Amino acid sequence: MTSATADVSHQVVDEKPAKVRRSDRARSEVRLGWLLAGPAFLVMVAVTVYPIIQAFFDSLYSYRLTAPADKHFVGLHNYQVVLTDSVWWKAFGVTTFITLVTVLVEVILGFALALVMHRAIKSFRGILRTVILVPYGIITVVSAFAWFYAFDINSGYINHWFDWVPGISPSLNWFAHQGTSLFVIMASEIWKTTPFISLLLLAGLAQVPGDLEEAAQVDGATWWQRMQRVVLPNMKAAIMVAVLFRALDAFRIFDNVFIMTNGANGTTVLSLLAYRTSIGRLEIGLGSAISVLLFLCVIGICFIAIKLFKVDLAAARGER
Amino acid sequence: MNRTGDDVRRRTRLLAVTTAVAVALPLAACASASGPPKLTWYINPDNGGQVEIAKRCTEAANGKYTIATEVLPRDAASQREQLARRLAAKDSSIDIMSLDPPFIPELAEPGFLAPIPDDVATKVTTDVVQGAIDGATWKNKLVTIPFWANTQLLWYRKSVAQQAGLDPSKDPVTWQQLMDAAKKENKYLGVQGAKAESLTVWINALIESAGGQIIKNPEASADDLQLGLESDAGRAAASIMGRIGREGLGGPGLPTADENATLTVFQGDKGSFMVNWPFVWSATQAAVSDGTLPKSLLDDIGWALYPQVDQGQKTRPPYGGINLGIGAFSNHVDLALDAAQCIVTPENQAYYFATNGNPPASTKAYDDPAVKKAFPMADVIRQSLEQAAPRPQTPYYNEVSTGLQETWHPPSSVNPDTTPKRSTDFITAVLRGEALL
């Protein structure tokens, strides 16, 4: 490797300083690099870049799938319709609410689980991790149905098992009110994805040097002080990555809402709105505009997390 | 070093070629499979009746073609979504499809359905109930082949009706009487209040029974559609639905009750009167023979025509069912037409009714002894079908239906003074592309 670098600099100095000419070897390495990464790059272009561009293009048209002849250019009119409609803003509010609540609860629960896994006796660790991971292994649609049937007024058992809890009775229809519907949707979401967060946080916990904690303990720091001053600052990157990943996922929530209420009682979220417009109404133009706006929201979340909270993705992976 | 690199590269290339050939070979083998043309029939989920009919018609074709079935999603809206998307992409694998009537104009308008030749049209509309022919027609042309025709009846628990002093089998009953009876007896009415297609079915039946229409000019373009909700009929419908919702006459499950949930409530202790499709009879019979429900329940169930809105005004029960559409992009349109005619023979329709509980579109099929045995109420169903009113036939049906569901749900929020106007404004704005749904 050193000789190759020397080769290159030698040539650059000797021959044409203005134009960098690479040695056969360097060129062949670049080619190998492209050959190795190229297929993945092409796949990424085909499955993400192309659809995004196509969606943006479609969003500039009034285009209904069952009336292909009426397709015409409308510029940014679709965006204007979406952004001036209360339906969009209500869905935006509900989605943001679900994202904030679920991520907050998941981080707290996930951290507790991570601590338990971290501190567990070695012989239990494997089983414990498996048990905690089970909900995450279940397909979202399946878990959504399981929660739906558990809370269903006719076939569910929750109303009968928990009728001693104030407010719960056999005649409580969970999916007929906004508050109770959102509660079940979020509970199911939290149950299913907390294991994911706890795994990410466990990795963060493992990175905290044990001697730092010991030193703090020797200095007489309480458990809470050790958490606050030693453990948390040292795993900030892991926490922020976990929050970012979950926030992005939670903002795109679809399955639970689709299965449980299909948007009834003010539970429509942005993904469901995009689905209902593009797939249900077959209004490709308007639906694409919603999808593009949803995409911009997601980019916005990434931007806030990375720029404002300074999430360092490389640090979380242990590259730096 | 270079030599080795070349060798590796050569070997890699060889591997790539081998892999490509290995992948391509089985595909080529698939393409060259021979035999009679395979027709694909997209069916809605049922109790296996359509699969059996496909088998019978494959045998009857004597090697001319074979029919394979593909199951569509469970609810009507998702069935439409899948078919519309595939047809918009000119999917040639769709030869025959089981279509819910309200969605037929939307598929017929852009030419997604192959035209039905006149001779076939005459043949498949002879001895067929009028409701089914209307549902299969768009702009005065038959665009699908009637297969089975559905309608809702009033089902009641004889014990409850007797206590309330009603006999729906003798005198037609009104919604008013049913609501009063349920209130007095402290029972639940079986109506579909979930935010789904079944809610539109209920709204349409109420408005039609009150002498109105949801859309006055269903063949108009999106901008010119005129809604008939702001009328006496619209207000009458809203007042019935609102009262059932507000007074809890449908039980706490009303805002999420679809046809199956309604049946569960009807079969329970709080069951009284229910409007529902005839599948409830075969479903209850099956539950009784499985031992999950007592035999006495079956004896306690009575049936009659759909309730009236105004005393003495003829009721217009819901119309549903399935028609067969022929895919416009199919490679075997002629064979598909042949196969569809085989599927809808009165014998097959009678078999389908007797085993799956889906009433025939053919009037002849009602005379089949197997039908009379399985469905003692077959004559009431036939009469109901003659009176039935279809949901609005417009290519924008999905917008109209979803718009109604947005504004008439939950039933307790429905108010005759405000809901019809709010609904009209909302649906009009959606149709003009000025509002999201």
Domain ranges of chain B: 38-143+321-381, 151-317+392-431
pLDDT at A120: 77
A97-153 pLDDT tens trace: 999 999 999 999 999 999 888 887 777 878 888 888 899 999 999 999 999 999 999
Instruction: Determine whether the interchain pair A66/B107 forms a contact, defined as Cβ–Cβ distance below 8 Å.
Output: yes
CB-based contact, B106 to chain A, within 8 Å:
yes
3-state secondary structure of B408: coil
> Which residues of chain B are within 8 Å of residue A81 when distances are taken between CB atoms?
433-436
Confidence of residue A18 (pLDDT cuts 50, 70, 90): low
> In chain B, which residue's Cα lies nearest the Cα of A31?
B9
pLDDT at B288: 93
Q: Which of B194, B256, B435 sits opposite A85 (nearest CB)?
A: B435
3-state secondary structure of A41: helix
CATH tag, B38-143+321-381 = 3.40.190.10
Q: Which of A261, A264, A280 sits opposite B81 (nearest CB)?
A: A280
Task: Name the minimum distance, in Å, from the CA of A16 to any CA of chain B.
Answer: 26
Q: Would you tell me which residues 48-77 of chain A have a C-beta closer than 8 angstroms to some C-beta of chain B? A: 62, 65-69
What does DSSP assign to residue B223? G
Confidence of residue A155 (pLDDT cuts 50, 70, 90): confident
Rg (CA), chain B: 25
> Which residues of chain A are within 8 Å of residue B402 when distances are taken between CB atoms?
276, 280-281
Q: Which of A154, A281, A283 sits opposite B261 (nearest CB)?
A: A154
CB-based contact, A23 to chain B, within 8 Å:
no
B47-71 pLDDT tens trace: 889 999 999 999 999 999 999 999 9
User: How many beta-carbon pairs under 8 angstroms link A with B?
Assistant: 91
Q: Which of A66, A69, A276 sits opposite B437 (nearest CB)?
A: A276
Task: Name the minimum distance, in Å, from the CA of A207 to any CA of chain B.
Answer: 40
CB-based contact, A279 to chain B, within 8 Å:
yes
To the nearest 10 degrees (0 to 180), the angle between helices A178-207 and A122-137 is 140
Handedness of CA A313, A314, A317, A318 (dihedral sign): negative
CB-based contact, B73 to chain A, within 8 Å:
no
CB-based contact, A118 to chain B, within 8 Å:
no
CB-based contact, B429 to chain A, within 8 Å:
no
Specify the CATH class of A84-316 in words: mainly alpha
pLDDT at A10: 45
Instruction: Determine whether the interchain pair A88/B436 forms a contact, defined as Cβ–Cβ distance below 8 Å.
Output: yes
3-state secondary structure of A270: helix
Confidence of residue A6 (pLDDT cuts 50, 70, 90): very low
Q: Do domains B38-143+321-381 and B151-317+392-431 have the same CATH topology?
A: yes
Angle at B272 (CA atoms; ends B271, B278), nearest 5 degrees: 85
Rounding to the nearest 10 degrees, give the CA dihedral for residues A38, A39, A41, A46. 140
A45-86 pLDDT tens trace: 999 999 999 999 999 999 988 888 889 999 999 999 999 999
Question: How many alpha carbons fall within 13 Å on the CB side of residue B20?
Answer: 6
Instruction: Determine whether the interchain pair A277/B106 forms a contact, defined as Cβ–Cβ distance below 8 Å.
Output: no
pLDDT at A8: 42
Task: Name the minimum distance, in Å, from the CA of B285 to any CA of chain A.
Answer: 20
3-state secondary structure of A229: helix
pLDDT at B144: 95
Tokens of A72: 């015409």
B71-112 pLDDT tens trace: 999 888 889 999 999 999 999 999 999 999 999 999 999 999
Q: Which residues of chain B fall below pLDDT 50?
A: 1-5, 26-32
CB atoms within 10 A of CB A50: 11
Please report which residue ranges of B127-231 form alpha helices under DSSP H. Answer: 130-135, 158-163, 175-185, 197-209
Please report which residue ranges of chain A form alpha helices under DSSP H. Answer: 2-14, 24-44, 50-58, 77-83, 86-119, 122-137, 140-151, 158-161, 178-207, 210-218, 223-226, 232-234, 236-251, 255-260, 270-275, 284-303, 313-316
pLDDT at A4: 42
> Which residues of chain A are within 8 Å of residue B194 when distances are taken between CB atoms?
264
CATH tag, B151-317+392-431 = 3.40.190.10
> Which residues of chain A are within 8 Å of residue B265 when distances are taken between CB atoms?
154
A255 with A140: CB under 8 angstroms?
Answer: yes
DSSP states of B348-378 as a string? HHHHHHHHH---BSBTGGGG-HHHHHH-TTH
| pLDDT at residue A28 is higher than 60 | yes
Mean pLDDT over each residue of chain A, to the nearest integer? 87
> Which residues of chain A are within 8 Å of residue B264 when distances are taken between CB atoms?
154-155
What does DSSP assign to residue A70? G
Instruction: Determine whether the interchain pair A282/B435 forms a contact, defined as Cβ–Cβ distance below 8 Å.
Output: no
pLDDT at B20: 54
Task: Name the minimum distance, in Å, from the CA of A152 to any CA of chain B.
Answer: 9
Q: Which of A66, A94, A283, A290 to probe by mutation at the B interface, max B CB count within 10 Å?
A: A66
pLDDT at A12: 43
Instruction: Determine whether the interchain pair B436/A280 forms a contact, defined as Cβ–Cβ distance below 8 Å.
Output: no
Amino acid at A305: A
CB-based contact, A151 to chain B, within 8 Å:
no
CB-based contact, B215 to chain A, within 8 Å:
no
Task: Name the minimum distance, in Å, from the CA of A171 to any CA of chain B.
Answer: 6
Dist. CA A199–CA B23, nearest whole Å: 38
Number of helices (H), then strands (E), belonging to chain B: the values are: 19, 11
